[in-house]
Amino acid sequence: MLNIDGFAYTNRLKNVHPTEKAVFALLTLFLCLVFSSFTVSCLTLLLMTVVTVRRAGIPYRAYFRMMAIPFSFLVVGVLTIGITITTQRVEQEWLGSLTAAGVTFGVTSGSIIKAAELAGKSLAAVSCLYFLALTTPVVDLTAAMRKLRIPSLFIELTELTYRFIFVLQETAEDIYLSQSVRWGYSSLKNSYKSLGSLTATLFLRAHHRSGMIFTALTARGYNGQLSVLAPEYRVSTANILMITVVELLLLSVGVIAEVKGI
Amino acid sequence: MSIETGDWIIEACNLSYMYPDGTQALRGVSLKIPKGGKIALLGSNGAGKSTLFLHLNGILRPREGVVRFAGSDLKYDRQTLLELRKNVGIVFQDPDSQLFSASVYQEISFGPLNLGLPEEIVRERVETAMAATGTGEFRQRPTHMLSYGQKKRVCIAGILAMNPSVMVCDEPTAWLDPKNARQIISLFNQIASDGTTVIISTHDVNLAYSWADYVFIMAEGNIMGEGDPESVFRDEILMYKTNLEKPWLVEIHEILLKKGCFPADSSMPRNRDELYQLLRNNNMCRREEMLNDFNNIRDEGRERNNVTLGIKRL
């Protein structure tokens, strides 16, 4: 299992202001999406990889394993764009083709460029989000969301969901363990039965726990709003300056690439 | 401890409560909590301790009876309830049912923010509560990566930050190892020494005997007995009726008293050290013999630290 959550709390950039990190990731993502340029995508990918692995200290093995996850989806998507299938006998500039039973499969230079652009853009976009996910704990993200005046209902839901994923996971693990020590998963039939009762129990527990949480919140004067304070982070002028320079560079590269049509 | 009349912070008169499923949890409970005391509520599972606690904070409303806080009857309107919850904080038994936030800091700030305090004061209170409970060291860790004892301390910090005048803790030492339990108890002592009334529920008679100023014994939704620990735990009939055991100190004291080792009017030892002191004062045995005994116990590996401590002081 990839421990994204664990890295978020232990990486070397954990003390950097979450808004700085969010702005950096999202602005880069934005530029990368606006300029559909292969150069910008590659630069973004390189930039994010270096920052995540070198600056934040995420082990490169873990990072590349994470990058491999979208890769498999990407391959399928890119293949469908890269390979042109046609029944028309119109002569195209095939780089290579195969005709069978009146259907032509092949690649053209145009389709290859398009596919490469798409692959680059997707990986670059994913690397931006991974940077954010790996360096910024969810609690910091929601704190930044609060500052950005995102509706509190949305933020509270995010926070509660996040917290209770772990509680639910722990409960599920406990139930699974107690079932398996009693041979609950010894055969396929038993496994089906045990998994069913695990799911049912999990729902009941979740319901019960939500009641208890509500009681505990009420006892502390809950009035319909989960108002909390986040720890304060220091704003770093150096970081802001660096982000500005990097983004401006990326922007100019993008503009030049657009003009020259690379 | 001497308690003067009228010095009650919380009073409950004849409380009855039935859960929607028909369980009669409280059957006419009356109790008076002295201000600034260390109170233990003892009783076996299902005695109604937790239900009673939920009444003290206004979460549950009794079918019959009255709850009084600082002398005035509790009205169940928004403002009164909010005021009550500001003054009476509850630490629940299961920390996972109390911690709603993944961030230690956010969790602790929730209570004081609900009191409508300005941000700077809330931040100050969060820092103070974290320092008092020793939770500051893991402020950057999410709550799901904390150990059980650490979660418990975060829960206590969350209540402490509200500066309540009464702190109610449901089974604070349950599932804790001895070291963590000791830390929690010394934390309660510290909180109590600042003038906060601390009420805990427990099954642990030894803890209740050593720690509390005043003890209530509950069974089947009723208060079966109350008083200072010395008198309550010597009540054989009460102990028998409520399925509780005598604290070991009481038992030993009684045995030694029967053997004529102490004068009949000697005060009961409340902890290990007081027992050693008593033994020494009454020249019960010669020093060398005692050292021998203690060494034997120590060699058996039991209570190593406490015994050595006892010998050193003799």
A85 and A107 housed in the same domain: yes
Residue B93 lies in a domain: yes
B42, B210 contact by CB (below 8 A): no
Which amino acid would we find at residue B51? Answer: T
Domain C-terminal end among B196, B221, B245: B245
Distance (Å) from the alpha carbon of B264 to chain A's nearest alpha carbon: 47
H or E, element range at B301: none
ipTM of the complex model = 0.81
Domains of chain B: total: 2
Structure tokens at A180: 């398996």
Q: What is the reported pLDDT for B289?
A: 65
Among chain B residues, the shortest Cα distance to A169 is held by: B144
A82 and A121 housed in the same domain: yes
Structure tokens at A47: 């930039």
Size of interface A-B (CB pairs under 8 A): 109
Domain range for A226 is 138-231
Residues of B with CB under 8 A from a CB of A: 54, 57, 59, 82, 85-86, 89-90, 92, 94, 96-103, 105-107, 109-111, 113-115, 119, 122-123, 126, 139-145, 158-159, 162
A147 and A201 housed in the same domain: yes
Nearest neighbour of B85 by CB, restricted to A14, A220, A229: A220
A15 and A49 housed in the same domain: yes
- Coil, helix or strand for B259? coil
Domain range for B276 is 249-313
A86 and A149 housed in the same domain: no
Residue B82 lies in a domain: yes
Say yes or no to pLDDT of B227 above 70.
yes
Nearest neighbour of A230 by CB, restricted to B82, B94, B105: B105
Dmax over CA atoms of chain A, in Å, equals 77
B95 and B197 housed in the same domain: yes
Q: What is the reported pLDDT for B3?
A: 46
Q: What is the reported pLDDT for B2?
A: 42
Residue B241 lies in a domain: yes
| Pick from A46-60, B35-49, B130-144, B263-277: least confident | B263-277
A53 and A178 housed in the same domain: no
Q: What is the reported pLDDT for B252?
A: 87
Contact A216 B143 (CB under 8 A): no
B14 and B100 housed in the same domain: yes
**Which residues of chain B lie closer than 8 angstroms to A217, CB-CB?**
100, 110
A5 and A72 housed in the same domain: yes
Say yes or no to pLDDT of A69 above 60.
yes
Structure tokens at B231: 């008198």
**Which residues of chain A lie closer than 8 angstroms to B110, CB-CB?**
217, 220, 226-228
A129 and A142 housed in the same domain: no
B73 and B96 housed in the same domain: yes
B176 and B259 housed in the same domain: no
Domain C-terminal end among B245, B271, B304: B245
Nearest neighbour of A231 by CB, restricted to B105, B144, B145: B105
Return the higher-pLDDT residue of B310 and B43: B43
Residue B134 lies in a domain: yes
Structure tokens at A189: 């039939």
B226, B1 contact by CB (below 8 A): no
Q: Give the pLDDT mean for B77-95.
A: 92
| Residue in the block written with tokens 């002191």 | B277
In this structure, what CATH number is given to the domain that contains residue B74?
A: 3.40.50.300
B156 and B217 housed in the same domain: yes
A132 and A240 housed in the same domain: yes
Count of residues for chain B? 314
A246 and A132 housed in the same domain: yes
A12 and A117 housed in the same domain: yes
Q: Give the pLDDT mean for A6-30.
A: 91
B124 and B18 housed in the same domain: yes
Domain C-terminal end among B190, B215, B245: B245
Among chain A residues, the shortest Cα distance to B123 is held by: A229
B167 and B62 housed in the same domain: yes
Structure tokens at B88: 């009476």
Distance (Å) from the alpha carbon of B44 to chain A's nearest alpha carbon: 21
Query: pLDDT confidence of A146, banded at 50, 70, 90?
Result: confident
Nearest neighbour of A163 by CB, restricted to B101, B122, B139: B101
B216 and B254 housed in the same domain: no
A150 and A252 housed in the same domain: no
**Which residues of chain A lie closer than 8 angstroms to B143, CB-CB?**
163
Q: Give the pLDDT mean for B99-109.
A: 92
User: What number of H helices and E strands is found in chain A?
Assistant: 9, 3
| Residue in the block written with tokens 């340029």 | A37
Residue B171 lies in a domain: yes
Distances (CA, A) of A116 to A39, A67, A79, A82, A146: 11, 17, 10, 8, 38
Of B100, B124, B141, B148, which to mutate for an interface test with A (greatest number of A Cβ within 10 Å)?
B100
Q: What is the reported pLDDT for B314?
A: 57
Residue B1 lies in a domain: no
Query: pLDDT confidence of B267, banded at 50, 70, 90?
Result: confident
B38 and B82 housed in the same domain: yes
Say yes or no to pLDDT of B225 above 60.
yes
Domains of chain A: total: 2
B56 and B191 housed in the same domain: yes
B223 and B276 housed in the same domain: no
Residue B2 lies in a domain: no
- Condensed to tens digits (0 to 9), the pLDDT of residues B178-198 reads 889 999 999 999 999 989 999
**Which residues of chain A lie closer than 8 angstroms to B105, CB-CB?**
229-231
Say yes or no to pLDDT of A193 above 80.
yes
B189 and B274 housed in the same domain: no
Q: What is the reported pLDDT for A1?
A: 45
Average pLDDT of chain B is: 87
Of A7, A159, A163, which to mutate for an interface test with B (greatest number of B Cβ within 10 Å)?
A163
Query: pLDDT confidence of B293, banded at 50, 70, 90?
Result: low
User: What is the number of alpha carbons within 13 Å of residue A64 lying toward its C-beta?
Assistant: 3
Q: What is the reported pLDDT for A241?
A: 93
Say yes or no to pLDDT of B71 above 90.
no
Q: What angle do CA A247, A21, A118 make, to 5 degrees?
A: 55
